[in-house]
Structure 1
Amino acid sequence: MSENIMGSCLCGKVKYEIKNKFERFFLCHCAQCRKITGSAHASNLFGDPEGFNWTAGEKIVKRFDYPNRGFTNAFCGECGSGVPYLNQSSTAIVVPAGSLDTEPKFTSSSRIFHVERAEWDKLADTAEIFSSFPHE
């Protein structure tokens, strides 16, 4: 049996625990995921719904079900951070990787809808790297 790991939103009002065993980890570059995250891609892990439990703030979670491609956005109603949700087919808990407070264990990872990758995201392949804000 896998140990549980914890996750939370930025303000800490929404908290959860889940078994640290994920079947898939998708970096999705589709246009909808870029809009939902405001970033280059969504980073979502897929876990077993039976291994998930809200520990705080479930009542303030907001959910938006996107009508195309059958996906969802769930977020803290206070700070707007992405939080886990049950997918529309009720077969998996989708966990935004950035909401985890611990490193996850997963068995496979893929970049999906890569053909839709934003041109500006390709700059990340050669961008200068800093450990914090660059000093001017």
Structure 2
Amino acid sequence: MSKPDGTTARAGSCLCKGVKLQITGDPFTFVVCHCQNCQKASGTAFLSNMFFKDKNVLITEGSDLIKRYDDSNTASGRTLGRHFCSNCGSTLFIRPSLEASNNDFVIVQASTVDDSYNWKPRKELHTDSKWDWIDVHVKPKEVKL
């Protein structure tokens, strides 16, 4: 759905559809993270992370179902708030801690987006933890985190 300013608004949700999001515009970057914490949070080999400005992600339903886990044992040393649906357990998004100097963005998990998109990952992070059988095709671009 296009908005009056020409940007596209996409729907997002968890598995049970109890939490719904509206995501506006394109991510300013898209990375695949192979760190062990993202592997554990996703239940698989990596997490596909799309970075949006905070103002571009709106929770439209089910905010009472969202729980937060403060992940302080990260490879970067920065605490990350991992948000998930308390009903179905779906990983939804990550927010940096409020103490972070740059905390005006939200990291939306690719599986949260319901509508189609043609975004491609631009970088892989923590490839030292990457599983040997994984071959991710990225579209390289300079990424500043």
TM-score tier, shorter chain, comes to 0.7 to 0.9
Corresponding residue pairs, total: 122
Higher relative contact order (CA closer than 8 Å, sequence separation 6+): 1
SS at match of 1:101: coil
Is the CA contact (8 Å cut-off) linking 1:62 and 1:75 kept in structure 2? Answer: yes
Q: Which residue of structure 2 lines up, in the alignment, with residue 22 of structure 1?
A: 27
From 48, 52, 69, the counterpart of 2:53: 48
Q: Which residue of structure 1 lines up, in the alignment, with residue 129 of structure 2?
A: 116
Q: Which residue of structure 2 lines up, in the alignment, with residue 131 of structure 1?
A: none
Q: 1:41 to 1:49 in 2, by over 3 A?
A: same
Paired letter, 1:99 = T
Greater helix proportion:
1
Q: Which residue of structure 2 lines up, in the alignment, with residue 84 of structure 1?
A: 93
In the TM superposition, what is the alpha-carbon distance from 1:21 to its structure 2 partner? 1.1
CA distance in 1: counterparts of 2:8 and 2:28, whole angstroms? 15
Q: 1:42 to 1:111 in 2, by over 3 A?
A: same
Is the CA contact (8 Å cut-off) linking 2:57 and 2:106 kept in structure 1? Answer: yes
SS at match of 1:83: strand
CA distance in 1: counterparts of 2:63 and 2:48, whole angstroms? 21
Structure 1 portions without partners, runs of 5+: 126-136
Is the CA contact (8 Å cut-off) linking 2:32 and 2:121 kept in structure 1? Answer: no
In the TM superposition, what is the alpha-carbon distance from 1:26 to its structure 2 partner? 1.0
Paired letter, 1:92 = F
CA distance in 2: counterparts of 1:20 and 1:34, whole angstroms? 27
Is the CA contact (8 Å cut-off) linking 1:23 and 1:108 kept in structure 2? Answer: no
Q: Percent identity?
A: 28
Per the normalisation by structure 1, the TM-score is 0.81
Q: CA RMSD in A?
A: 1.8
Structure 2 portions without partners, runs of 5+: 1-5, 136-145
Paired letter, 2:65 = I
Is the CA contact (8 Å cut-off) linking 2:50 and 2:110 kept in structure 1? Answer: yes
Q: 1:94 to 1:117 in 2, by over 3 A?
A: same
Is the CA contact (8 Å cut-off) linking 1:23 and 1:106 kept in structure 2? Answer: no
Is the CA contact (8 Å cut-off) linking 1:20 and 1:105 kept in structure 2? Answer: no
Q: Which residue of structure 2 lines up, in the alignment, with residue 97 of structure 1?
A: 110
